[in-house]
Amino acid sequence: MGCFASTPKDSGGNRRKPTSIGEVSVYVPGLRIPRPVEFLQSLEDQLPKNLVERLTALRTRIVVMANQEGPTITRTRRKTQHGGSTLSDLHQALVDYLPVLLGLTKDGSHLQFKVQFNWVNQEDEEEETAMSNVWYEVLSVLHLMAMLQMSQANLLLLPRGFSDGHTHPKVSEENRRASIDIFLKAAGYLDCAVKHVLPQFSAEQRRSLPVDLAEGVLRALCLQALGQGVDIQLGMAIDNSKATLAVKRRLSCEMVKYWQQAQDNLMNLPLANGWGEKHRLFVKWKYVEAKAAAYYYHGLILDEGNTEKSHGMAVAALQAADECFKESKKASEAFNASSPTSRTPPLFGTLKYLTEKIPKDTSSKVRINRDLYSYEKIMETAPTLPDFALALKPDEYQLPLVEAS
């Protein structure tokens, strides 16, 4: 039960396609945009009129706000007339809607198949997908809640000028700490979607979901949020004089695993259009960038050894860091050039530090050891990175209890 209907990408122009999305620290592959729903027509003989009206009012508010924001929010943190942000207001509207919506699923209710829900997506070849299944609506709501959090994190992590005399734009420590909490919350929504909402669909229904709701994409977004959280932790460790090389190496190696797993989850998915291909390029960029950091710190620790072998492995690791760093710059350029175009904000944190240190330290070690190690030895296969357990986990988010009404 719960049939699908899809609208081809060239049929109606509901999908908005900005040519540029501005500065990007956190890539958000478009927001899902809900289309209006006829609750009254579908439920007037099934539920009390006041409850149908409440469902209608809650969802209409979401439709209006989401369509005002468009598929992506990147440039500014817009304020509402009451002083709140449009991001937080839309998020709150979704939070208010879920407990009432879930009432249609209670005890396997037949009502979950009575209403057709229609959403515009950004990554699938089909522009719109409609389904007469409340779990499709729940999945779409959780995806949108997560993407709003990621959008909020992007705004927090765009460096700004300060009035305290700093000429180089910075991201405050307060914003960096807040962004980690936001990443964990976004990951929690996506983790819940994978573990508790996708199992409500049959295998056939899951194959018919738009690609942005495919399990691989949801898992990749969850891992992206965790990977970016570790990136911020690493940047804060770099700024902390008490943080050891071992701590920095561990964080950078964990970051590699998050991004590698994210890339693996996207591997065989048909992310063919602009937003989807840009998503793939972002994950590739961040994966190679994470490897540059991991090889760099691994090389510094290996260089503390007193044997010729350890020095040789250190040089190989630093050389790998330099090669990965060069590759990450190419990947960044490819990401920004892909449609919709984007820009990398002023450097801060991990990337700013590595941009200054990797080329300098690599050339220094190669020059110092030139007499000991041939070019062939330096270019040998890089040493294996240490394997650490992943410490950062999604927040434990549970679907809300059904509203009493």
pLDDT in tens, 247-298: 999 999 999 999 999 999 998 887 766 788 899 999 999 999 999 999 999 9
- Tell me the sheet residues that pair with 4: 131
**For 23-33, what is each residue's pLDDT tens digit?**
899 999 878 88
Distance, in Å, from the CA atom of 97 to the CA atom of 100, rounded to the nearest integer, reads 6
User: What pLDDT is attached to residue 76?
Assistant: 44
Distance, in Å, from the CA atom of 224 to the CA atom of 259, rounded to the nearest integer, reads 6
Nearest to 29 by CA among 261, 186, 254, 199: 186
- Tell me phi and psi for residue 230, to 5 degrees: -65, -35
User: What pLDDT is attached to residue 165?
Assistant: 52
Give the pLDDT mean for 336-344.
89
In this prediction, what percent of the chain has a pLDDT beyond 70? Answer: 83
- Tell me phi and psi for residue 170, to 5 degrees: -135, 160
Distance, in Å, from the CA atom of 321 to the CA atom of 216, rounded to the nearest integer, reads 29
- Min mean pLDDT across 36-45, 47-56, 177-186, 360-369 is at 360-369
Give the highest mean pLDDT range of 11-15, 212-216, 218-222, 325-329.
Answer: 218-222
User: What pLDDT is attached to residue 79?
Assistant: 43
- Min mean pLDDT across 4-13, 118-127, 347-356 is at 4-13
Phi-psi region of 273 (alpha: psi -120 to 50; beta: other; left: phi over 0): beta
Give the pLDDT mean for 298-323.
86
Q: Is the pLDDT of residue 13 over 70?
A: no
**For 168-201, what is each residue's pLDDT tens digit?**
778 889 999 999 999 999 999 999 999 999 999 9
Q: Cβ(95)–Cβ(189) under 8 Å?
A: no
- Tell me the sheet residues that pair with 118: 130
Q: Is the pLDDT of residue 151 over 70?
A: yes
Q: Is the pLDDT of residue 345 over 90?
A: no
Q: Is the pLDDT of residue 85 over 90?
A: no
User: What pLDDT is attached to residue 216?
Assistant: 94
Q: Is the pLDDT of residue 125 over 60?
A: yes
Q: Is the pLDDT of residue 113 over 50?
A: yes
Q: Give exposure, 252-265, as e/b (b: 16+ Cβ within 10 Å).
A: bbbbbbbbbbbbeb
User: What pLDDT is attached to residue 162?
Assistant: 53
Locate 325 and state its tokens: 């760093």
Distance, in Å, from the CA atom of 391 to the CA atom of 369, rounded to the nearest integer, reads 36
Q: Is the pLDDT of residue 376 over 70?
A: no
User: What pLDDT is attached to residue 10?
Assistant: 40
User: What pLDDT is attached to residue 17?
Assistant: 67
Model pTM score? 0.88
What's the mean pLDDT when you consider all of the chain?
A: 84
Helices (H), 124-172: 134-156
Q: Spell out the residues 6+ positions from residue 7 whose beta carbon is closer than 8 angstroms to its own.
A: 14, 126, 127, 128, 129, 130
Give the pLDDT mean for 384-398.
93
Give the pLDDT mean for 291-318.
87
